[in-house]
Amino acid sequence: MPHFMIVEARYYEDISDLLLKGATAALEEKRSTFEIFQVPGALEIPLAMRLGMLRPEGRGAVGRQFDGYIALGCVLRGETSHYDIVCNESARGLSTLALEYEKPIGNGILTCETEAQALERADPDKKNKGGEAALAALSMVELKIRMGVR
């Protein structure tokens, strides 16, 4: 049974709540376990995940090692170029972690023009991007197992 680290950026709390609801429901349906960690915003997600990758396993470990990771959050376009920086750098950070450390990561960081778009995408009864991110991470965990990669 795969065990996941969910890192949830709380900057837009109502959107994060919906993303988390979709992600946890998808994992529970697939009988996977998870732990949830909260960070202030999308830029903090890659570091939180990297810290989770350093988590010890074996005797005396505080908790179980994670098989996969799920990033949840939202970035809304504002009046400055900060939106582009946050979108690009959070995505780059997740890609770097996945490739350098061979870790399955589901990216559920929404990058939207408006709050209405984000709510539509986050809602588990609509586009359910949190659930999609969880299923993407689970799919990559299963691929690693099938390929015999630890």
What are the residue numbers of the active site? 82
Which pair of structure tokens corresponds to residue 84? Answer: 């582009």
Q: What is the dihedral of CA 38, 107, 131, 70, to 10 degrees?
A: -40
User: In angstroms, rounded to a whole number, what is the distance separating the alpha carbons of residues 74 and 149?
Assistant: 32
Distances (CA, A) of 73 to 54, 60, 66, 143, 149: 22, 32, 20, 25, 29
